Amino acid sequence: MHSISDERNWLTWLVKVRILILTVLLAIELAVIRLTPSPLPIVPFLTAMVLWFVLSLFFLFLVSVWSESRLQAMLQVLSDLAMVTLIVHLTGGIDSSLNFLYPLVIIVACMLLPRSWGFLSAALAFILYGAILELDYYGAIPSFSTSHPKLKALQVVVFVNLFAYFAIAYLAGLLVTKLRQADVRLQDASGALENLQALHENIVQSMSGGVITTGLDGRVTLANRAAQQLLEIVETELRGRSVTDLFQDPLPHVGSGRGDAEVRYAGGNGFRKTFRVTVSALNVTVRGDLGFVYTFDDLTEIRRLEREVRLQDRLAAVGRLAAAIAHEIRNPLTSIAGSVSMLSDAPALSDEQRKLLQIVTRESDRLNNIITDFLAYSRGKQYRFERVNLLPLLQDTLTLLEHRLASENSGIHLTRHFAVAEAWVLADGDKLKQVFWNFSENAVRAMKKTGGSLTAALVERGPDWEMSFTDTGPGISPQQTEKIFEPFQSNFEGGTGLGLAIVYQIVQAHEGKVWARSEVGKGTSFVVRLRRMEQGAPAVPDASQSGAAAAGAAAGGGTRG
């Protein structure tokens, strides 16, 4: 059977069709009556037609306010049978040309009601039609027919109509049953197709890797949730964009030697991500290639860990090298420096010889500083961890730096952006001051010739405190940024290249993270993150641990590109 909404639609359709048929029939009958002499009563016929119109309008109103569609269908079928009988009687009875309306009512009953109602409507149509013919024949009601057949001929007409009505009821019921079965199968197939589409869509949306589909023109047509999260763009903004414009490197092509490639992506927060992208053709058997499917995974963390492992290996190698040769170099270096100092006091030296001895002394001091940094880098460091507030540490460092910049008239402006009043961590305060001073000193060196602005900021980032030191210097290239915490990577004249390597060790020992962001011509930013400690949290007892042990405990920390 039809659903309730379908039955209401059918009832509304039936009322509208009935009004249309009544209008056409009224026009035809009036034309026939006007153009040909006819004994038909015009006033009763018009009255019956107006009554039928009023009933139709009433049923149209009833459909909108009454939810019992089955009862409404029964009332409409019964009222239609009654009105058809009245119209057939008024238009001549056995001579009426409108007795074809009975089969229409029977067909409507088969469509709206169970099949038994089709046969019931056929029986009622037979009874009503036969009744008016018999009553007309015996003069029980006024007769409007021009012919007066005999009783047997009249009975033949009645029984022929009986056979026709039941044949129509049977055929209409059979056809409607087949149509309903086909409708059920179609709904089942449509439901299965919708479920299959929903399943496929859920599979695509539930994939952990990003999926983007494009047309043959390379414009995005679909992006799953993972792709939107990885790219940090919603699907409405992605749709219609060229997929090649999303990434900084060329994407792989279908039919090329390799179907995948590693590409870089610039996120909205300034971080650069690395994706492994695989492409395949979106092919439909009948229609051929319709577009392309790009799947990609985030390799940013993997590549960061790989860089960190390489950095750890290099740092360990440099540490072993420093521990092995520092003492061997320092002893003869001290002897050389002492001997040169004694020679410089000799009165027989010329000015040129004294300049040469000054160069030897100066270079010996510089080499001694390098050896000192080597020893500081390789020697096991002792940390005294306690509950400290980062704000005083930053303020002390920046105050010293501010006085120095003012005395030197360097043209560098210092700005503070602290979003909180307190920032508690479990750390060694002296070591963190060393980190802050190193970052500040690097920024000052970068802006020494041109001046500029150094901005120190502290904000809360999830479970961490984030401190950043941003300068407006010339910046550094991406290649230098990736290696900036490795030994011997100094970009400054006279630098040993070990300061940031020591900073990296200190941050590792605090189980924190440190990285640099830079763009050539737009300055550099060094960022440190340390685990946040609530103000009321119990302090851990003071403990001393070696740098090697701390680095081992901080294996989860690292740099970011």
pLDDT in tens, 514-544: 998 888 888 899 999 999 887 655 555 444 4
Signed CA dihedral, 473, 478, 482, 486: sign only: negative
Q: How confident is the model at residue 40 (pLDDT cuts 50, 70, 90)?
A: low
Rounded percentage of the chain residues whose pLDDT exceeds 90? 9
For the chain, the straight-line distance linking the first and the last C-alpha, in angstroms and rounded, comes to 66
Question: Does 552 score more than 50 pLDDT?
Answer: no
Distance (Å, whole) CA 298 – CA 337:
55
State the pLDDT at residue 528. 94
Please name which of 303, 315, 306, 321 lies closest in space to residue 505, comparing C-alpha atoms: 315
| 287 φ/ψ angles, rounded to the nearest 5 degrees | -100, -5
Express each pLDDT in 209-242 by its tens digit. Answer: 888 888 888 888 888 888 888 888 888 888 888 8
Domain boundaries, the chain: 4-188, 208-298, 303-378, 383-553
State the pLDDT at residue 418. 92
State the pLDDT at residue 8. 66
Asked if 430 and 393 count as a contact pair (C-beta separation under 8 A), the reply is no
- Which pairs from 252-261 meet CB under 8 Å and 24+ separation? 252/277, 252/278, 252/279, 253/279, 254/279, 254/280, 254/281, 254/292
Distance (Å, whole) CA 451 – CA 383:
36
Higher pLDDT pick, 165 / 369: 165
What does the block give as tokens for 541? 């007892």
| 212 φ/ψ angles, rounded to the nearest 5 degrees | -130, 130
What does the block give as tokens for 70? 């089955």
Which range is most confident: 484-493, 540-549, 551-560?
484-493
Higher pLDDT pick, 386 / 487: 386
Give the DSSP letter string of 6-22: HHHHHHHHHHHHHHHHH
Looking at domain 208-298, does it have CATH number 3.30.450.20?
A: yes
Least confident of 174-188, 353-367, 391-405: 353-367
Distance (Å, whole) CA 320 – CA 325:
9
Spacing of C-alpha 522 from chain mean position: 32
What does the block give as tokens for 376? 């500081």
Number of other CB atoms surrounding residue 314 within 10 Å: 16
- The domain 303-378: what is its CATH number? 1.10.287
State the pLDDT at residue 386. 92
Kindly state the average pLDDT of the residues 410-416.
88
Kindly state the average pLDDT of the residues 68-95.
80
| 383-553 CATH pick, 3.40.1190.20, 3.30.565.10, 3.40.50.300, 3.10.180.10 | 3.30.565.10
Same fold, 208-298 and 383-553: no
What does the block give as tokens for 105? 């009512």
State the pLDDT at residue 36. 65
State the pLDDT at residue 485. 83
Question: Does 20 score more than 70 pLDDT?
Answer: yes
Give all strands of the β-sheet with 412-418 in edge-to-edge order: 412-418, 452-461, 464-471, 523-531, 513-519
Return the amino acid letter for 314. Answer: R
Asked if 511 and 554 count as a contact pair (C-beta separation under 8 A), the reply is yes
Please name which of 439, 438, 487, 528 lies closest in space to residue 310, comparing C-alpha atoms: 487
State the pLDDT at residue 464. 92
Express each pLDDT in 306-359 by its tens digit. Answer: 887 887 777 677 667 766 666 667 677 777 777 777 777 777 777 777 777 777
Kindly state the average pLDDT of the residues 132-144.
77
Asked if 275 and 265 count as a contact pair (C-beta separation under 8 A), the reply is yes
State the pLDDT at residue 494. 52
